[in-house]
Structure 1
């Protein structure tokens, strides 16, 4: 049994013996058949409303397993680094907020909602998990393709400009946005857009060899020449992507604008 599976079992047993917990669900790799020895463990716990104010998450997690670090990140998630160096993410909410589960529907595909079920005393968890089942949101739409292309152009131009100003670190940071939207478009091209939000997940297996090489060409170290090459390759990739996708999607970005960007790069 993986250490992560032992932690999952410990969370389940803790829920079963803690009268403060109304419901608990899991999300992430272990609910998608992708859990391995490198995966995180991730949970939503719903605490009875009348106990929520007095509930102490640090104490609760410490009774699951020892940890070396626990903090609240910028999204309000309680992040835990257990002593065995497995990462955990925990969301603790009042039981009355269980409908938050329904808001997960637009974020992706949930192929096995039964595996998300950990514990429930209310009868309210399973119907909400069932709501998440079935097909995920349609990603391969003109709206999404244009969103990716438009944001690509915006990030590309900003990255080139700050590079010319001499802000190489900032240009490298902006390049991550260029890469993000390029990958979203490559996933549309390969009809593997389910990972629209988690676009780098399993990339080495999801993209074919040619498209993966194209992605590699738009990566760079913090060196001016490498950054310049990465932005040049990114623009060339965008032009090829429009050519390959234009029969299926209506683009707001046209060849005239891309040609202008190409000339701008050559100045």
Structure 2
């Protein structure tokens, strides 16, 4: 067994033994049957509302295994670093929050694989109400919005690079790349990892696609950033045109011409 699998088994044991825990679920690679030595362990824990207010989060997690460090991330999730740099994500919530699961974009795995504990049946009902896959942008309006967001970040990357803010340009370009990955996945019909579009790109998308996308990654040097912006536009232009043709979306020809112009010399 992988160390992560031992941790998952220990969390399951603790969940079933904790009478104050109403429900718990796991998600991510192991729930999907794709966990490996580099995967995280990830859980939502729904405690009785009265108990949740006084819960010692660190104390609960200390019982899972030895902790090297713990931090509350920017999304309110407790991130734990176990030995060998294994990451654990633990969302502490209340039983009243179980209903909010129905607002998620999709299940990340089959319901039975996600449920760790469900004392009332409410968690199963919430998970079963979710689609197995997230809704994809299929209308002309959806595609136009997706591609437009790519253009927004790419144009920002171009301008701040011209100003000499190369680190900011790299940051903006990373946002453009995320939308570019969504465009690539949608255009090629490879939408299985839609919620995390960079996941398994090297094996999930074709070799030529991966090779082209790698040219959009850069270091914070003026010439390199310019080349990456140009490479991103070459890819994005193609995907945008393909998607627009598929859904009957009108291309912004004047914007295309201006981006063609500023990237032509890179």
Shorter chain as normaliser: what TM range? Answer: over 0.9
For 2:116 and 2:87, how far apart are their aligned partners in 1? 18
Q: What 5-or-longer segments of structure 1 have no aligned partner?
A: none
Matched, 1:157 2:155: yes
Q: Secondary structure at the match of 1:132?
A: coil
Q: Secondary structure at the match of 1:189?
A: helix
Corresponding residue of 1:15: 15
| Contact 1:113–1:133, Cα closer than 8 Å, also in 2 | no
TM-score by length of 2: 0.93
Deviation at 1:138, TM superposition (A): 2.9
| Alpha-carbon distance change, 135 to 262 in structure 1, aligned in 2, over 3 angstroms | closer
Moved more, 55-64 or 247-256: 247-256
Corresponding residue of 1:263: 261
| Contact 2:42–2:90, Cα closer than 8 Å, also in 1 | yes
Q: What 5-or-longer segments of structure 2 have no aligned partner?
A: none
Deviation at 1:253, TM superposition (A): 4.0
CA RMSD of aligned residues (A): 1.8
| Alpha-carbon distance change, 190 to 142 in structure 1, aligned in 2, over 3 angstroms | same
Corresponding residue of 2:189: 191
Corresponding residue of 2:124: 126
For 2:199 and 2:71, how far apart are their aligned partners in 1? 25
Moved more, 39-48 or 252-261: 252-261
Tell me the number of residue pairs that the alignment of Structure 1 and Structure 2 aligns: 265
TM-score by length of 1: 0.93
Deviation at 1:144, TM superposition (A): 3.4
| Contact 1:110–1:136, Cα closer than 8 Å, also in 2 | no
Deviation at 1:189, TM superposition (A): 1.2
Deviation at 1:217, TM superposition (A): 1.4
C-alpha offsets along residues 29-55 of structure 1, whole Å, 9 cap, x if unaligned? 111121111100111111112211121
For 1:188 and 1:142, how far apart are their aligned partners in 2? 13
